[in-house]
Amino acid sequence: MIPTIETNRLRLVAPNKDAFETYKKFYTDGSASKMYGGPIGIEQTWARLKADVGSWYLLGFGVWVIQLKSNDSYVGTCGFWQGKEWPKELTWWVLPEARGQGVATEALLAVLKHAYNVFNWETVETYMNDDNGAARALVEKLGGVKVRRQQFNDDLSRDIYFLPKP
116 and 79 in contact (C-beta within 8 Å)? no
Is 128 part of any domain? Answer: no
- Number of folded domains that form the chain: 1
pTM for this entry = 0.97
Is 146 part of any domain? Answer: no
Q: What is the pLDDT of residues 46-58, one digit of tens each?
A: 999 999 999 999 9
Is 148 part of any domain? Answer: no
Domain of residue 86: give its range: 5-119
Is 54 part of any domain? Answer: yes
Is 24 part of any domain? Answer: yes
Is 59 part of any domain? Answer: yes
End-to-end CA distance of the chain: 25
Q: What is the pLDDT of residues 132-149, one digit of tens each?
A: 999 999 999 999 999 999
CATH of the domain at 30: 3.40.630.30
